[in-house]
Structures are given as C-alpha cells and as structure tokens.
Amino acid sequence: MSTVTITDVAKHVGVSVATISRHLSGFTVRNEEKIRQAIIDLNYRPSAAARNLKSGRTGIIAIVVPDITNPFFASIVEGAEGAVGEDRMILLVNTGDSRQREEKALAQLFGRVDGVIMAPLTEDEEGPSFFSQFGLPIVFVDRVTQDGEKFSTALTDNAKGATIATNHLIALGHKKIAMISGPLSTTPGKKRADGFKASLKESGLPCQYFIESDFSEEGGYAAMSALLEREDAPTAVFTANNLMTIGALHALRDRGVAVPNQISIIGFDDLDFAELINPPLTVIARDARLQGALAMELMIKQLTNGASTQPEHSMVDVQLVERGSCAPPREMQTIAFNKVDR
C-alpha cells in the first residue's frame, strides 16, 4: 500500500534509477534478474501520473455518449472496447442528454485523455465549433456537429435505412404512413427524417403524419398515443430509434391496437427481444459494435499518425430484417370490398 517509487527499487538493487527505468522500457541491462525480483519483492508499480507528465500521453481514450443504458450506445462502447488494444483504456462519460454535462466533461477530459470518441448531443452549435478550442483528437460516432467534416467520423447510413423502411411500407400498399422522428437537431434524427420524406415524395404520398420526438421511450409513447387519437389514424408507422419503438409498442399495447392487423410498425435499430414480442418486430438493423470498433480504429490511426492525419469517414451499412410487424393495410380489403359493393 505504501508508495514505493523507482528510487526505492534502485536503492534495493544498488543501481541508479536510470537503469531501472531503462529496464522498464525494454532495454537490456546488466542486473536484469535482480531488478525483476526487486520489483516483485517491493511490489513496485510505476506511477502513471509521472509517466503522463513526462510523455504527455495518458493511454486513455474517452468515449462520450448521451445515454449508456441505451443498448445501441452500450454496443458502441463494447465495440470500441474490443478495438482499443492492449496498451490503452477507455474512459466512459455518460452525459445523460445534458448539454451542460457534455461541455463540462469535455473540459475535464482535456489533459486526462489522449483522444475523445463522441456522440454529440446536437448539431446546433453557434459560432465556431465548440470542440475546436480543445486541441484534442476527436472522432465522432453516430452523430456529428455542424463542422463534423473536419473530424473523422463513424456513422450509419441513416438516409438509406429510412428509405428502405419507408419504401417497405409503401410497397405493402400503405398510403397513410407516420414517422415518429428523433430531434431534427441530431444527425440521425435529421437524416432519417429526410430519408422518410424523400421516399414519400418520390411515391407521390403526402407527409401528414410526421412527429418530431426525442429518441426516448416516453417520447415514443406520447407520439404513438397522439397518432392513435387522430380521427384519420395512420396505417403504418416508422419509429426512428429503438427506445421510441419500445415506447410506441407500449402505447399500442395499452390501447389494444393489433399489430400488424390494425397498424404496421417498423423500427430503426434492432432489439434483443425483437423476436420475442408478438408479432416479431420488423426493423432496420445495423452493426453497432462494428461502428464502435470503426470509431476506435480511426482514433488510433489518428493517434499514431500524429495530428497531420486527414480526417476519414467510415459508414456502416443497414439492412431490413423482416419479421412480422408489417402487413398490407386493412383499407386494402375495405377498398376491394367497396369496389365490389358498387
């Protein structure tokens, strides 16, 4: 427990501190064996603080996420963890969706870490980027800020995902398609909403069931409830992230709305239990772990190549996982019936 330093080891062996230091950094020294033994006997551990001070490196990479209990971000972190390598560690910061905590964290991180992988809360930044003032290497994951181009990024093909989801519903015959969107101030919020709207327009459908929510379970619940209360309710809904999908499903359940009989639903981001619910949930899936790993690789590349490195942009693909929560709209039958009726 005592604080045994390199000097103690040197004295114990009878050599200078320089020799011990050299041994530690892998040089061959004369009393190799004696030193090794002394280190064990004294239970010596080099002071990380002193090393940092000399070298200017900490061997720590920070990951800043808005909400660690969101399985998506947990997977990002896990992926990054897996790619971090032997000689570095990860410092996790959970900003809890608070802009204030995000700022404070970034300020505190300076000097404590070699770089920051982050999913910023919002793209809306007044003036020159808030992040430029810190000389820290930054890699954006999942989300970027306005001037994100200047940094390396590991993003998802959001537009494509939204397009696939929307077209899937359109192909099934839906005309009244709703979207429960994330905040348009975030990258995925904006991009997914854009993809949705573009798909509707391309098919000549009006965009009349668009709700901007907040990526939270509660938000999804509220938005779904609002949609269901409309006189002319939609027949299908695209929820822009996992949490809102859960919220929406709760709302549907609470009101006894049958899926996909009365309403079809497709979510962005797969869920662990998507197959367990009734009916199994159709989703747009992506590899979050891979995305986290990519972000870490970009960071490490930047760290090893020095500040001169050009920013790189990687993107993970999305894909449609059809299960059972989407079906043709009930109106299809009604319309057919009407035709016969005439």
Partner DNA sequence: AGGTTATCTGCAATCGTTATCAGTAACGAT
Partner DNA sequence: ATCGTTACTGATAACGATTGCAGATAACCT
Contacts with its own copies, residue ranges (CB under 8 A): 1-3, 43, 45-50, 52-53, 56, 58, 60, 68-69, 71, 74-75, 77-78, 81-82, 89-94, 96, 105, 107-112, 133, 135, 217, 246, 249-250, 253, 271-273, 275-278, 307
Which structure tokens are listed for 215?
């990526």
Residue type, 44: Y
Partner whose binding site includes residue 74, from its own copies, DNA, none (CB under 5 to 8 Å by kind) = its own copies
DSSP 126: -
Work out the number of other CB atoms within 10 angstroms of the CB of residue 78: 14
In angstroms, the CA 139 to CA 158 distance is 18
> Considering beta carbons, is residue 7 or 203 the nearer one to DNA?
7
Q: Which stretch binds DNA (CB under 7 A): 10-18, 76-84, 182-190, 279-287?
A: 10-18
N- to C-terminal Cα separation, the chain: 90
Of 69 and 208, the one with the shorter C-beta distance to its own copies is 69
Residue 24 contact among DNA, its own copies, none, beta carbon within 5 to 8 Å by kind: DNA
Contact segment (CB under 7 A) with DNA among 40-48, 122-130, 197-205, 246-254 equals 40-48
Q: How far apart are CA 73 and CA 70, in angstroms?
A: 6
Backbone angles phi, psi at 267, to 5 degrees: -115, 155
The reply on whether position 17 binds DNA by CB under 7 A is yes
DSSP state of 255: T
Q: What letter does residue 65 receive in the DSSP assignment?
A: E
Bridge partners for 318 per DSSP: 286
- Shortest separation between residue 24's beta carbon and its own copies, angstroms: 14
Pick one of DNA, its own copies, none as the site partner of residue 275 (Cβ within 5 to 8 A by kind): its own copies
- The whole-angstrom separation of Cα 284 and Cα 84 is 28
Smallest gap from Cβ 30 to DNA, in A, equals 3
Least distance from its own copies to the Cβ atom of residue 278, Å: 4
CB-wise, 75 or 241, nearer to its own copies? 75
Is there binding between residue 134 and DNA (CB under 7 A)?
Answer: no
d(CA 123, CA 146): 5
Closest CA to 155 of 103, 190, 114, 127: 190
The least distance separating its own copies from the CB of residue 231, rounded to whole angstroms, comes to 27
Taking CB under 7 A as the rule, which mask of x and - marks residues 47-66 in contact with DNA? x-xxx-xxx-----------
Tracing tokens 């499903």 back to the chain, one arrives at 249
For helices 217-229 and 242-254, angle between their N-to-C axes, nearest 10 degrees? 50
Q: Encoding tokens for residue 20?
A: 């011990």
249 binds, among DNA, its own copies, none (CB under 5 to 8 A by kind): its own copies
Token reading at 126: 């007044």
Give the type of residue at 219: G
Q: What is the nearest approach in angstroms of DNA to the Cβ of residue 17? A: 5
Interface with DNA includes 107 (CB under 7 A)?
no
- Compute the least distance from the CB of residue 98 to its own copies, in Å: 11
Q: 193 to 252, contacts with DNA by CB under 7 A?
A: none
The answer to whether the beta carbons of residues 238 and 210 sit under 8 Å apart is no
In the complex with its own copies, the residue whose CB is nearer, 43 or 304, is: 43
- 304 counts as binding DNA under rule CB under 7 A: no
Q: Give the one entry of its own copies, DNA, none that residue 18 binds, where binding means its C-beta sits below a cut-off of 5 to 8 angstroms depending on kind.
A: DNA
| H-helix or E-strand spanning residue 91 | strand 89-94
Phi and psi based region of residue 14 (left: phi greater than 0; alpha: psi -120 to 50; beta: remaining):
left
Q: List residues near DNA by CB under 7 A.
A: 3, 5-7, 14-19, 21-22, 24-25, 27-31, 44-47, 49-51, 53-55
